[in-house]
Amino acid sequence: MTVTHAPDEAFSSAAEENFPGAAEVAAFVQSLEARQTSSYTRRNYAQALRDFFLWARSEVNFSGDFREINRRLARDFIVEKQRTHTRKTVHNQLAAIRGFFDFLLREKILEESPWTVLRSPKIPKRVPQFLTEKQMARLLAAPQQLQEAGRISAWERVRDEAMLECLYGGGLRVAELCGLDHGHFDFAKGLVRILGKGNKIRVVPLGEVALRAVENLAKMSERTEPDAPVFKTAKGERMYPRAVQLLLKRYLAAAELPGDFTPHKLRHSCATHLLDHEADLRMIQEQLGHSSLSSTQIYTHVTLSRLKAAYSKAHPRA
């Protein structure tokens, strides 16, 4: 196979080592880029494939002929990985490998895939973690608290209040938050346009408090053109996910809340509180940008478990 383009950046670290199958993996990663998958996914897939082929080289002296990867070797890989990795990690690695071998089938490099009939380990469903409404109120008040203590500037307070309000009020993913431009907001209608996973666009409502927080930030911003980022770092660059995570840890500490909460758990909190206040499940699906209702239904487990706990405490016949 001839690779006609320079390797994708997400593949560059994996390509540094000339492991068997590297050229085909590079072509596969480029095909993912053409399908507009995220750089995060491409990087993880490239790393998973690199690890697999290096493992195959150590096990059976894999030379780059993909016909050497048979069903028995594939099964051995799954068994060995489950001894040292979580089921979710193994599941994600297998998704990358299956996708790659499907690519080889499409490219007529292979006639069959050894992974077709092998099952991935089942991932146990976990009830998503979230903050209670009282805890959220404490977190949202933390920027004001830190400004009054002289630990952050007025601009930082306004910016961070707006970020927290959008994460919680809109149920946004952290990458969606960082991608917001001023032109994405329709303040008159109370709506925001979001670029979600797979470059899918959705338009959802945002609460008055969050909209007001964004407007306050815009008043303090030098550039508010439609394509200018809403959230910026102190250096004036577009905000990025890791910076949001670190800022959240600061406010969790100030609010005396668990430090392991992530921006994504604010999204869980949004969905859980909407469901608590009798929002329709389909509406929550649209708000969060879930492609399938089954992804949204996990939040019903949260409310049902809380209902059962309340019933056990309150009902005389429980």
Q: For residues 14 and 46, which has the higher predicted lDDT (pLDDT)?
A: 46
> Do residues 180 and 74 share a domain?
no
Spatial distance between the Cα atoms of 286 and 75, rounded to a whole number of angstroms: 39
Q: Quick check: is 3 in a domain?
A: no
Q: Quick check: is 71 in a domain?
A: yes
Instruction: Identify the pLDDT of residue 317.
Output: 56
Going by pLDDT thresholds of 50, 70 and 90, the confidence category of residue 1 is very low
Q: Of the spans 80-89, 151-160, 270-279, which averages the highest pLDDT?
A: 151-160
> Which of the following is catalytic: 173, 184, 265, 273?
173
pLDDT score of 56 more than 60? yes
> Do residues 144 and 181 share a domain?
yes
> Do residues 204 and 248 share a domain?
yes
pLDDT score of 11 more than 60? no
> Which of the following is catalytic: 85, 202, 290, 306?
290
The answer to whether the predicted template modeling score (pTM) of the entire model surpasses 0.75 is no
Going by pLDDT thresholds of 50, 70 and 90, the confidence category of residue 299 is low
Q: Quick check: is 276 in a domain?
A: yes
Mean local confidence (pLDDT), 251-265: 92
> Do residues 153 and 201 share a domain?
yes
> Do residues 272 and 192 share a domain?
yes
Annotated active-site residue 238? The verdict is no
**Per-residue pLDDT tens digits for 77-109:** 999 998 999 888 998 999 999 999 999 999 999
Looking up residue 248, the CATH number of its domain turns out to be 1.10.443.10
The total domain count for the chain is: 2
> Which of the following is catalytic: 45, 168, 251, 299?
299
> Do residues 296 and 216 share a domain?
yes
Q: Quick check: is 121 in a domain?
A: no
Instruction: Identify the pLDDT of residue 316.
Output: 59
Domain with 248 in it: 133-314
> Which of the following is catalytic: 159, 232, 267, 273?
267
Q: Quick check: is 116 in a domain?
A: no
Q: For residues 252 and 281, which has the higher predicted lDDT (pLDDT)?
A: 252
pLDDT score of 3 more than 60? no
Residue % of the chain over a pLDDT of 90? 59
> Do residues 80 and 150 share a domain?
no
> Which of the following is catalytic: 98, 197, 238, 249?
197
**CB contact set of 202 (below 8 Å; sequence gap of 6+):** 193, 194, 196, 286, 289
Spatial distance between the Cα atoms of 175 and 239, rounded to a whole number of angstroms: 9
> Do residues 138 and 99 share a domain?
no
Q: Quick check: is 88 in a domain?
A: yes
Annotated active-site residue 197? The verdict is yes
> Do residues 156 and 300 share a domain?
yes
Annotated active-site residue 299? The verdict is yes
> Do residues 147 and 73 share a domain?
no
pLDDT score of 301 more than 70? no
Annotated active-site residue 173? The verdict is yes
Spatial distance between the Cα atoms of 251 and 234, rounded to a whole number of angstroms: 17
Annotated active-site residue 126? The verdict is no
Mean pLDDT taken over the chain: 86
Spatial distance between the Cα atoms of 45 and 28, rounded to a whole number of angstroms: 9
> Do residues 201 and 77 share a domain?
no
Mean local confidence (pLDDT), 13-22: 68
The number of CA neighbours under 13 Å toward the Cβ of 38 is: 11
